Amino acid sequence: MSNKSGQIIGLGLESSCDETSASIVIDGRKIISNRIYSQVELHCEYSGVVPEIASRAHLEKINNLIEMALDDGKFKFSDLDYVAATNRPGLIGSLLIALQSAKAISFALNIPLIAVNHLEAHLYAPFLEGNEPAYPFIGLLVSGGNTALYRVNGPGEMILIGKTVDDAVGEAFDKVSKYIGLGYPGGPLVENLAKESRLKKVFFPKILTDPDDTRFSYSGLKTAVINYIKQNPGQEKSEIVYSFQERALELLVRRLFTAARKSGIKKMLVAGGVAANGRLRELIETERKNYEEVLIPSPLMCTDNAAMIAGISYQYYIRNIFDSFATDVSPKP
């Protein structure tokens, strides 16, 4: 049942890490508002997210963001059909802010509460940019906290193919960036520095080359980079990060296409912060060939945002899958 003739209006909330976001999405496709407050400046001086600072900032910002999101569409609370929030994975203190806010709104308005897996929401992002959700697909999730490959059969049906055994790929970008003294978040800074590389003299070995292996691993590459810098202080940093980036991304592309070919599934989707990397997009395009489809969200939709939360939740809403007030947060997916 919708509040407005035929339209389902959802409010999504996100606070799992260092972005606070509130979004209004209609029918799981049309973004009316996607308000995002990034805490990057608050965490910059620590070169990483400080959980206590993050949860306090979420608490300070969330009410205002919700009001702005409603205002953007000239909506009132009473127009909402459901309210959704990320409840996993993430920082516990941070996750609680969006989930508790969603519970309060659900209780006050007597509308369904939907609690979603942040990783599944990332993999929904391309569907908010003009593509119809089509299952099954192979989904590669690449962010600061996760590197994992799934076969996604439908909403709530994510079958893990392989994940990192140590660092996430974004974390490796951040740590290399920190070691070199570039700053935080490291991904875009490393990508930009790598573009200056001209000589391509540094070569780090390929990671986990067995084609039957579905795992990812980044701590060895990160350590190799740090050791190389210690032993070769005169080497151009751009040469070093170029080779680091090539090896880090090459593993992602290899695993993605191997999974697609082995499963016979032609539709692939890449999402999460690292999917904003231009070189990754180039490598995928080169490997893609004409017959394979790879959806990657626009760089804005690669980062944490609440539109993807409201979007995937619509898929649950139309299936009458709701959550109770007993639903809790979890650091794990």
Residues in contact with ligand KG4 by the rule CB under 6 A: 17, 143-145, 170-171, 173-174, 185-188, 191, 272-274, 276-277, 303-304
Please enumerate in sequence order all residues whose Cβ is within 8 A of that of 208, keeping only pairs 6 or more positions apart, or say none: 215, 216, 217, 251
Q: Taking the complex as a whole, how short is the minimal distance between the CB of residue 48 and ligand KG4, in angstroms?
A: 10
Cβ(186)–Cβ(173) below 8 Å: yes
Cβ(72)–Cβ(35) below 8 Å: yes
Q: Taking the complex as a whole, how short is the minimal distance between the CB of residue 314 and ligand KG4, in angstroms?
A: 21
Question: Which is nearer to ligand KG4, 145 or 162 (by Cβ)?
Answer: 145
Question: Which is nearer to ligand KG4, 26 or 43 (by Cβ)?
Answer: 43
Q: Taking the complex as a whole, how short is the minimal distance between the CB of residue 277 and ligand KG4, in angstroms?
A: 3
Tell me the pairing of strands 113-117 and 82-88: parallel
**Residue closest to 60 by CA, chosen among 97, 17, 104, 105:** 97
Q: Taking the complex as a whole, how short is the minimal distance between the CB of residue 287 and ligand KG4, in angstroms?
A: 18
The dihedral formed by the CA atoms of 287, 289, 291 and 294, expressed in degrees to the nearest 10: 40
Q: Taking the complex as a whole, how short is the minimal distance between the CB of residue 311 and ligand KG4, in angstroms?
A: 16
Longest CA–CA span in the chain (Å) reads 67
Going 138 to 311 to 32 to 68, the CA torsion angle's sign is: negative
Q: Taking the complex as a whole, how short is the minimal distance between the CB of residue 301 and ligand KG4, in angstroms?
A: 10
Question: Which is nearer to ligand KG4, 26 or 142 (by Cβ)?
Answer: 142
Question: Which is nearer to ligand KG4, 149 or 274 (by Cβ)?
Answer: 274
**What token pair was written down for 34?**
């996607």
Q: CA 223, CA 201: separation in Å to the nearest integer? A: 19
Q: Taking the complex as a whole, how short is the minimal distance between the CB of residue 119 and ligand KG4, in angstroms?
A: 9
Question: Which is nearer to ligand KG4, 121 or 260 (by Cβ)?
Answer: 121
Question: Which is nearer to ligand KG4, 192 or 223 (by Cβ)?
Answer: 192
E runs forming strands in 70-117: 82-88, 113-117
Burial class (CB in 10 A: 0-12, 13-18, 19+), 309: buried
Question: Which is nearer to ligand KG4, 106 or 146 (by Cβ)?
Answer: 146
Please enumerate in sequence order all residues whose Cβ is within 8 A of that of 1, keeping only pairs 6 or more positions apart, or say none: 81
